[in-house]
Amino acid sequence: MPPYIKHYLALLNVKKTASDLDYISQLQQAHLMHFCFSSANVLLKKPLSLEPEALFERVITERTGGYCFEHNKIFYLTLKALGYQVRPILARVMLNGDPLNGLSHRLTLLTLAGQQYAIDVGFGVDCPRSLIELTDNHFISEQGFAYQLKKEPDNSDGFRLLQLNTAAEKTLYRFDLREVTEADCDIAHFYSHQHPDATFVNHLVIARIEVHQRHLIRNLHYSQINHQTGERHELPIESVAQLLSVCTSQLMLNIDQKAAEHLFEYLKMKIS
């Protein structure tokens, strides 16, 4: 096992259990709690290599955040190194309701004891904290969040993941089980952090998911959702110091003063 994966597993500090599903689920939850989803590096125009050693160094050791093509590749490589049967799959994000969106989201397909599961550690604040069993109408209930997986009626290998705890049912993404290679992921990754119309090229999105609460920065607005109390705390970000403080204390993002200044000035200009 490469040393960067050993280092990553040591940071997660999850003990191996008799149940593989339980162990993988605990790894997933520990990852979401310790390493934040972030588009900051995209807006800062930093090189985002997906070469494994550079990827683990940037996201895990330096803790500068990442998005689906980074987080889910890290989790895929780790499960593969642990001996599990995994491969990447690509999904169409449906948050804008357009079924023709490109394949711009990476997740991991796990096959274990004859059953298939989708695993996601890279979908921002809406990311499920549980493995998604690939059976029609599979329901997931978590602290404050609920999901349902539905089969596509016109595609035997097609699924869509719904989020149910909103005013209206929301489709997060749809995917099927077609073959996906790392080259396919590289192309989608390039679009997602280089194309002028890509979401993360134009917006700051930072999220971290704990057991009882979820944190989100969307441009210059911070939200904290507490699932134990039901409270939702909203806060406009009005200064560089405030952005830096929220990023480091609540999102656990390793970011310096200069980067925070760049992000704040860019977003203020964009909003105005």
Last residue of a domain, one of 159, 191, 223: 191
Are 247 and 170 part of one and the same domain?
no
Q: Torsion over CA of 109, 114, 115 and 117, rounded to 10 degrees? A: -20
Listed residue (117, 148, 146, 121) closest to 132, CA to CA = 117
Are 13 and 138 part of one and the same domain?
yes
Mean pLDDT of the chain: 95
- What is the per-residue pLDDT for 251? 97
Alpha helices in 115-227 (DSSP H): 182-194, 199-202
Residue 65's Cα: distance from chain center in Å?
10
Q: What is the mean pLDDT of residues 127-137?
A: 95
Parallel, antiparallel, or unpaired for β 138-141 and 85-93? Answer: unpaired
Last residue of a domain, one of 167, 191, 215: 191
- What is the per-residue pLDDT for 40? 98
- What is the per-residue pLDDT for 115? 97
Are 132 and 9 part of one and the same domain?
yes
The helix or strand, by DSSP H or E, that contains position 264, with its residue range, turns out to be helix 257-271
Please say if the pLDDT value at position 83 is more than 70.
Answer: yes
**Percent above pLDDT 90 for the chain:** 89
Parallel, antiparallel, or unpaired for β 37-38 and 85-93? Answer: unpaired
Q: What is the mean pLDDT of residues 185-212?
A: 96
Q: What is the mean pLDDT of residues 154-180?
A: 88
Please say if the pLDDT value at position 98 is more than 80.
Answer: yes
Residue 167 — very low, low, confident or very high, per pLDDT cuts 50/70/90? low
Into how many domains does the chain fold? 2
Are 13 and 132 part of one and the same domain?
yes
Are 82 and 186 part of one and the same domain?
yes
User: How many other CB atoms sit within 10 Å of the CB of residue 73?
Assistant: 23
**Of 63-67, 93-97, 109-113, 236-240, where does mean pLDDT reach its minimum?**
93-97
Q: What is the mean pLDDT of residues 181-198?
A: 97
Last residue of a domain, one of 169, 191, 213: 191
Give the residue numbers spanning the domain of 217: 195-271
Please say if the pLDDT value at position 26 is more than 80.
Answer: yes
Listed residue (191, 193, 211) closest to 201, CA to CA = 193
Task: Say which residue, 229 or 65, is predicted with more confidence.
Answer: 65
CATH of the domain at 71: 3.30.2140.20
